[in-house]
Every structure is written in C-alpha cells, then in structure tokens.
C-alpha cells in the first residue's frame, strides 16, 4: 500500500508498515515543559543532597520526624499523666468530699441497681460492713470495679469509667462503711476488723 496520497500531509512522517502509517503528532506543551523542568531539577537535587547537603536525606527526615513525635508524646504525657493504680494513689481520693460526692453520683447511676441505693446490698453484696469477698484494700475494690466479677454477674467497668472515676467510687464505698442502712444484706466474705490497713 502506497502512502503517496499523504506525501503532502505534514501530519504523516511517511513511515508505513503493513499499511499502518505513523502520524507526527507533537507532545502536549505542558508535558514538554514538565519534562524539561524535571531534567533541570534532577542535577540540582543530586547536588543539593549529596554535595552541598542542603536537601535532607530520607534518613535525616525520618530521624527529625521521629524526634518531633517523641517531643509531642512527652508533652502529651506531661499534660496527661498515667494514673498509677496503687493503694496510695487511690487513697488520695478517699476522705475527699469532692471525690465522695462524684463517687456517689456514679454509684447511683451504675451500681445501686445491684448494691442498693445506700450500698446495703441486693443482688450484689452489702458494701457497708467489714466483710469483703475479694479483699478490702483500695486496690482490691478498684480492681473489682475494673474487671467485674463475671461469674457473679457483675459487669466490668474498666472500659466505661476512667481510673479517676473508679477511684471516686472507691472513695464513696469507703465513706459508707459502718452506715448500717435499713435492710442491709447479711455479711458475705471475710471479716476485716482492722479497716485502717485498707488504705
């Protein structure tokens, strides 16, 4: 097949292969400019990174970003200290009126249905006497609130209440000891006569 009929067509290079003719279409202007910009930038980038040390390497950027993340983490931890779960830490809430009142509100909303409005015990045990099923130390009460007692039907509250809120509950429970409310449930568990050691 001859391409003579296209000899005067500027869009045809004159290449012909099995009847396939190649058009001489130029590349778009934006693509050509982008190509030459990349060509010009490449040596500048190499010189800036490897000769003049103006452009940081990947390792340098990674190290700088990790240092920045460490600073952010340190600042966040300073503003949001981790709660230490210990008898002494929880004892800081015990006897504090503000903590007791907050704990009372939490108890009424979450615990009274099983332990009674005054802690006298319903499905759950009486919380006003000196008998304890799972230990009488602050951290023992805190852990029961946190983990629950699934075989007795008590829900774990660790994912619902913050450590501070659970400590407020401990403060309230401590405050109702010996209140002897009407209709108090019979003692359950072990008698701890020396409650002073609980804190």
| 27-86 pLDDT per residue, tens | 899 999 999 999 999 998 888 888 888 888 888 888 989 999 989 888 887 777 777 788
Share of the chain above pLDDT 90, in %: 56
Extract the tokens encoding 192. Answer: 């701890």
Overall domain count for the chain: 2
11 pLDDT band (50/70/90 cuts)?
low
Q: What is the pLDDT of residue 184?
A: 94
12 confidence band (pLDDT: 50, 70, 90) = low
Q: Within this chain, do residues 62 and 93 fall inside the same structural domain, yes or no? A: no
Which residue range(s) make up the domain with 115? 87-198
The reply to whether 95 and 189 lie within a common domain is yes
pLDDT tens, position by position, 110-142: 999 999 999 999 999 999 999 999 999 999 999
Q: Are residues 152 and 112 in the same domain?
A: yes
Domain co-membership, 34 together with 54? yes
Contacts of 181 (CB under 8 A, 6+ apart): 116, 118, 119, 120, 128
Residues in contact with 9: Cβ distance below 8 Å, sequence separation at least 6, in sequence order: none
66 with 126, same domain: the answer is: no
CATH number at residue 191: 1.10.760.10
Domain boundary pick from 28, 45, 79: 79
Report if residue 3 sits inside a domain: no
């Amino acid at each position: 097949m001859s391409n003579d009929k296209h000899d005067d067509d500027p869009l045809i290079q004159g290449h012909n292969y099995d009847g396939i003719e190649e058009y001489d279409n130029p590349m778009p202007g934006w693509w050509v400019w982008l190509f030459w910009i990349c060509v010009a930038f490449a040596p500048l980038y190499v010189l800036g990174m490897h000769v003049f040390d103006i452009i940081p390497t990947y390792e340098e950027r990674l190290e700088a970003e990790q240092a920045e993340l460490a600073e952010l983490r340190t600042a966040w931890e300073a503003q949001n200290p981790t709660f230490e779960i210990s008898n002494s830490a929880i004892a800081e809430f015990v006897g504090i009126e503000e903590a007791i009142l907050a704990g009372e509100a939490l108890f009424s909303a979450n615990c009274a249905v099983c332990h009674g409005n005054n802690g006298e015990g319903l499905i759950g045990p009486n919380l006003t006497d000196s008998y304890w099923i799972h230990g009488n130390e602050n951290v023992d009460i805190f852990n029961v609130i946190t983990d629950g007692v699934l075989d007795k039907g008590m829900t774990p509250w660790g994912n619902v209440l913050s450590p501070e809120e659970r400590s407020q509950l401990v403060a309230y429970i401590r405050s109702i000891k010996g209140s002897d409310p009407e209709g108090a449930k019979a003692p359950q568990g072990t008698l701890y006569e020396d409650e002073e050691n609980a804190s």
